[in-house]
Structure 1
Amino acid sequence: MRLPPRSGTAATLTAALAAAVLALASCGSGAPAADDPVTLTITANAISGGKNSASADWIKQWVIPRFEAAQKAAGRDVRVLFQPNGVDDEQYKTKVALDLKSRTGADVIDLDGIWVGEFAQAGYIKPLAEVGGTGVEAWEGWSQIPQAVQGLGIFDGKKYGLPQGTDGRVLYYNRQLFAKAGLPDPWQPTSWQEIIDAGTALRRLPGVTPIQINAGTAMGEATTMQGALPLLAGTGTEIYSGGKWTGASQGLKDVLGFYRQVYGGGLGDPRLQQEAKGRDKSFAEFAEGRIGILAEGDYFWRAVVEPQAGVAPMANRDEVVGYAKIPAREPGAGVRGQDFVSMSGGAVRVLNPFSRNPRQAWELLSFMHSAEAVKAELAGAARVTSRTDVNAEVLAGDPMLTFISEEVLPVTAYRPGLAVYPQVSAALQEATAAVVSGTAPDEAANAYRAKVEGIVGGPGNVAD
């Protein structure tokens, strides 16, 4: 979905209607008298008893009473309201965009990280420091959020939002199969070639698919996030950088060449990449000991092979499943000169630039991202957060998630939050599908470039 235009009768009318619905919002109801209490509003795509219920309950039952009490103790009369939503993400995105276009809406707003650049380019959000003042850069929390993780809320080098929970991509491997193939355990490849070498050893085992790295259009965004983008980062290339989209660069050709080695060299199963349920089938095959190496996010550990409630539970997960960082093409070849790379996703919270109480809104936002608040939101669950101090405490009993927090997040990267990204991602998926089907990597890269030129407004917006 593209954001609504910033001018035009129809858009203005729609925005006015959205503003009327949100007449109680703190930043659109006229200036209060000097002695009136301050009212702040939070909005999120969460609603008690429905979508993201736990988040809604945390806001209502923990954030609001605790923040109001803290403000009262400081001699301030502050009231906080919560505007719940329980709709499709695109509907929520449209609603928030219309609010901001009409200079109304909540003071603190939940956004998917992938929307940040789009909202910033439309002028709907501004850098945190421009809205919240000098207290933003002085906030203690920045030192607890790795620079790479801060990137979730950064666009064009400026901080627009505070990252919420995040995740990371790694290589999982079956330790039993590695032992049978004579491979080391623990295993940490330092180059793509070492992945290929491990796959070659695993190919000697009957009934085993050596490597599963998502490819093709049936896998959807999982192809891009679990496969193509981490590999591209491993060549030192980002899908969007310096105002241009990556075209048929050497980095992209190297990525497609790696896919060719895996799927043209008998190290992967091309059929899995073409089936509608191929990703789910790959999960089941890994759990059954029929896939040796699989690239996935920490979701795979938490929700797929989790021994009790996983989609493809492995009772012996902790003993059998190993994990390793994704290496750059060769040491030092990754983005920022890194030896290892990853990709992450997640949500952010931003400030409404039209808030009538921007300093107090920043106090509320930073309070919601304090260590105490983040731990309260987890409610005892072991999940990766944006804060290293919280992760050190809540992930202490889970070595894998600790690995994500300590080893993976510092080297991760994020998708560009721009409106055309989904179309570019689809073109990238098509390029991997072509290679899996036998197209030469250079030919697939050139076809990809041609598609991207049409998506992003011509060759001037694409760089090789």
Structure 2
Amino acid sequence: MRPARTLAALAAAALSLSACGSGGPSGDGGTTLTITANAISGGKNAATADWTKNWLIPRFEEAQKAQGKIVHVLFQPNGVDDEQYKTKIALDLKSHAGADVIDLDGIWVGEFAQAGYIKPLDQTAGPEAGQWEGWSQIPPAVQSLGVFDGKKYGLPQGTDGRVLFYNKTLFAKAGLPASWQPKSWQEILDAGAALKKAGVPVPLQINAGTAMGEATAMQGALPLLVGTGSEIFSGGKWTGASQAVKDVLGFYRQVYTTGLGDPRLQQEAKGRDKSFQEFADGKIGVLAEGDYFWRSVVEPKAGVAPMPDRDKAVGYALIPSRRPGAGVRGQDFVSMSGGAVRVLNPNSPNAKLAWQLLSFMHSAEATKAGLAGEARITSRTDVNEEVLASDPMLGFVSEKVLPITSYRPGLAVYPQVSVALQEATADIVSGKSVEEAAASYERKLEGLVGGAANIAR
């Protein structure tokens, strides 16, 4: 299988790396468990490393001591490129070694599962995994971040969501409502037309092309695709030049050949960054982005493109399906999310105790402590309701977006498929027809996924 071969190649390329031993008995008669993540104090994801060492480990060891158990937890930090970390974890698991609890990017879950490196939680932890109290606090859509082939492999950590941001000042100028919620793609286009008529330089910004990279897929093509009721991978097949893909490309064509969007932004190397600044400067009416845009781009004081009046001037709306009820699962509105998961090492000699550690890490108390006072979206509804109460936008994502969101397929070939989809949108922006762009996309897809038999149309 392609994913298994890919991970095997990664592991073979990293034989010089040393695999970590799984937890076993300690000198005082207790048991040692290990946690690993791509996080290190003073470096990459430092907050996660600090929380693990300074809060999580002492609290868990104390909780176990109160039950009469001696448990020692060791943290194995990393601070490397994501692909290097992925390679190291693949090598550890292939060698039947590695930490008991492992952080993974959610997009790797399917690949690791197909390679046999990780197993469903009910196989590693037993029936206790299905009885965990936290499942009731994690929306089913968010749970799917750690699901592959209908089986739960891991617990989702923090996540995010995509929405439509809009400039209320420009909307007022165009005679559009301050509380805008389009119910179809046509209503987005209608708003764009009104903004254009009012003299707004760039009415709509829907990421397109290869210069935007994965942002084209996550902020544009994939949300639109799930809005047609289709997904990029479903039922064991990849979506080819189907009517759904043609509908997505048709929407792009309406935006970028009628003056509603700026084709140049999609082709410039720094086009996405430029779109951020243009939105902050009042030159873009509607922009599709993740909640990162609110938290880190237009944040009034420390944002990349700060907007002092953000809270009053910036509105946000759900991404509508092509028409009401046409989205995946019959939804009126859709979104896409990303995030990380934590999994159990199937080779752990203390799998049930490791599950107690993993579930403790995802308890409400631990999840809240991991935020360190910051307002960030977690996978748990009960925590979000408390910590996001003072931030309406992030609360909106937690309450309205997460229950309806979708995730990318966690398969090794997905990044290449994403590039092919990005290239299809670039074809549209450069003036090619929907049929030409769709046909070119499918030809590339066939070469990536093993032929026409693995493609749905």
* TM-score bracket for this pair, using the shorter chain length: over 0.9
Q: Which of residues 162, 170, 173 in structure 2 aligns to 1:177?
A: 170
1:297 deviates by: 0.3
Alignment partner of 1:212 is 2:212: no
Partner of 2:50: 57
Partner of 2:437: 444
Q: Deviations over 1:381-421 (max 9, x none)?
A: 00000000000000000000000000000000000000000
- Work out whether residues 170 and 200 of structure 2, in 8 Å CA contact, stay in contact via their aligned partners in 1: no
TM-score scaled by structure 1? 0.95
Q: Which of residues 321, 329, 341 in structure 1 aligns to 2:322?
A: 329
Partner of 1:356: 349
1:232 deviates by: 0.1
Amino acid at match of 1:425: S
- Work out whether residues 200 and 283 of structure 2, in 8 Å CA contact, stay in contact via their aligned partners in 1: yes
1:204 deviates by: 1.1
1:446 deviates by: 1.1
Amino acid at match of 2:118: I
Structure 1's 449 and 88: CA in aligned 2 closer, same or farther, altered over 3 A?
same
Q: Deviations over 1:21-61 (max 9, x none)?
A: 524x316xxxx599931111000001111111110010001
Q: Which of residues 391, 400, 405 in structure 2 aligns to 1:412?
A: 405
Structure 1's 11 and 222: CA in aligned 2 closer, same or farther, altered over 3 A?
closer
1:148 deviates by: 0.3
Alignment partner of 1:168 is 2:157: no
Structure 1's 293 and 104: CA in aligned 2 closer, same or farther, altered over 3 A?
same
Q: Structure 1 vs Structure 2: percent identity of aligned residues?
A: 73
Structure 1's 11 and 147: CA in aligned 2 closer, same or farther, altered over 3 A?
closer
Which residues in structure 2 correspond to 1:379-458 (within 5 Å)?
Answer: 379-458=372-451
Amino acid at match of 1:448: Y
Partner SS for 1:136: helix
1:159 deviates by: 0.5
Partner of 2:456: 463
Structure 1's 108 and 433: CA in aligned 2 closer, same or farther, altered over 3 A?
same
Structure 1's 78 and 173: CA in aligned 2 closer, same or farther, altered over 3 A?
same
Amino acid at match of 1:202: L
Q: Distance in 2 between matches of 1:269 and 1:2?
A: 38
Partner SS for 1:46: coil
Amino acid at match of 1:409: L
Q: Which of residues 190, 197, 204 in structure 2 aligns to 1:197?
A: 190
1:134 deviates by: 1.2
Amino acid at match of 1:440: S
Partner of 1:26: 23
1:216 deviates by: 0.2
1:206 deviates by: 2.3
Q: Which of residues 242, 247, 263 in structure 2 aligns to 1:254?
A: 247
Q: Which of residues 28, 32, 36 in structure 2 aligns to 1:43?
A: 36
Amino acid at match of 2:325: G
1:218 deviates by: 0.3
**Number of corresponding residues:** 456
1:129 deviates by: 1.0
Partner of 2:124: 131
Q: Which of residues 130, 133, 140 in structure 1 aligns to 2:133?
A: 140
Amino acid at match of 1:22: C
Q: Distance in 2 between matches of 1:141 and 1:326?
A: 28
TM-score scaled by structure 2? 0.97
- Work out whether residues 249 and 434 of structure 2, in 8 Å CA contact, stay in contact via their aligned partners in 1: yes
Structure 1's 14 and 447: CA in aligned 2 closer, same or farther, altered over 3 A?
closer
Q: Deviations over 1:69-107 (max 9, x none)?
A: 000001111111110001111000000000000100000
- Work out whether residues 4 and 97 of structure 1, in 8 Å CA contact, stay in contact via their aligned partners in 2: no
Q: Which of residues 59, 71, 77 in structure 2 aligns to 1:66?
A: 59
Q: Distance in 1 between matches of 2:7 and 2:407?
A: 27
- Work out whether residues 7 and 87 of structure 2, in 8 Å CA contact, stay in contact via their aligned partners in 1: no
1:185 deviates by: 1.9
Amino acid at match of 1:60: K
Q: Distance in 2 between matches of 1:394 and 1:415?
A: 27
Alignment partner of 1:241 is 2:234: yes
- Measured on the aligned residues, the alpha-carbon RMSD in Å equals 1.8
Partner of 1:315: 308
Alignment partner of 1:84 is 2:77: yes
- Work out whether residues 206 and 288 of structure 2, in 8 Å CA contact, stay in contact via their aligned partners in 1: yes
Unaligned runs of 5+ in 1: none
Partner of 2:294: 301
Q: Which of residues 108, 112, 118 in structure 2 aligns to 1:119?
A: 112
Amino acid at match of 1:212: Q
